Amino acid sequence: MSPMVKILIGLIAALLIGWIWHGPLGHGAALIDRMEGQARTAVAATEVPGIEVHLARHPLKRIATLDGPANDLQREGLGSQKGISDYVRAIDGIAKVRWADEKPATAMPLLAEGLLLHVIAYLLGLGLAAIFWGRKKKEGFL
């Protein structure tokens, strides 16, 4: 079997593992659920009634969408005071925050982010392996 076929089989295996982790095992949805819960807690702490927060589900994305009766000052804050959007932006993992009456935000789906990281990690490992174990050392030299 040629080395290129072996590399492709390894890459496909890495992508398959990433997809299984994200989809069938449910870790992608669990991440979105956790971030959405934290966002709801952060919004509740602002004590502005009627504000709802949802993260994109189809496909899963790290975009928080806020909806409710808030004016511009409550939404974005003023000067050193934080707005509702700032509290949600501060949550680890949230990529973007938008309000329902604004234009839709674009972001890469969570699955694509995960698979891209798997490809990068695989290629990095492949490169390091080639550096350390790829060339035969000559006898008598260090």
Q: Identify the pLDDT of residue 55.
A: 92
- Binned at pLDDT 50, 70 and 90, residue 123 comes out as very high
Q: Identify the pLDDT of residue 81.
A: 80
Residue 79 above 60 pLDDT?
A: yes
* Adjacent-strand bridge partners of 81: 78
Q: Domain coordinates of the chain in residue numbers?
A: 9-124
Measured CA to CA, the distance from residue 79 to residue 15 in angstroms comes to 45
User: Taking all residues of the chain, what is their mean pLDDT, rounded to a whole number?
Assistant: 87
Structure token pair of residue 85: 């959007």
Structure token pair of residue 80: 């050193």
* Adjacent-strand bridge partners of 60: 57
Phi/psi of residue 106, nearest 5 degrees: -110, 140
Q: Identify the pLDDT of residue 102.
A: 81
Residue 19 above 80 pLDDT?
A: yes
State the pairing for strand pair 96-99/77-78: unpaired
What does the DSSP 8-state code read for residue 124? H
Structure token pair of residue 8: 């492709």
- Going from the C-alpha of 19 to that of each of 26, 63, 94, 110, the distances in angstroms are 10, 20, 21, 11
For the entire predicted model, the pTM comes to 0.77
